[in-house]
Amino acid sequence: MAENLLLLGTIMTLDEVKLLIKASAAQMDALYGKTVFDEWAVISLAENRARVLAYVGPRNDDFLKNFANDLGSLRSELMDANYGVGDFAFARHGTGTSFEAFMVLGHAIYLICNNTSDSMDNIARDPRWLKAQVPFAELGDKLRPDPLLIVTDTQFFKK
The reported pLDDT for the residue numbered 105 is 94
pLDDT tens digit string along 23-66? 999 999 999 999 999 999 999 888 878 888 999 999 888 888 88
Residue 8, pLDDT > 60, answer no
- Is 13 or 29 the better-scoring residue by pLDDT? 29
Task: For residues 78 and 59, give the distance between their C-alpha atoms in angstroms, rounded to a whole number.
Answer: 21
Mean pLDDT value across residues 61-85: 80
pLDDT tens digit string along 103-158? 999 988 999 999 988 888 889 999 999 999 999 999 999 999 988 887 654 444 44
Helix (H) or strand (E) holding 44: strand 39-44
* pTM across the whole model: 0.84
Domain boundaries defined on the chain: 36-126
pLDDT band at 69 (very low <50, low <70, confident <90, very high): confident
pLDDT band at 96 (very low <50, low <70, confident <90, very high): low
The reported pLDDT for the residue numbered 94 is 57
The reported pLDDT for the residue numbered 71 is 79
The reported pLDDT for the residue numbered 140 is 95
Task: For residues 38 and 15, give the distance between their C-alpha atoms in angstroms, rounded to a whole number.
Answer: 19
The reported pLDDT for the residue numbered 151 is 64
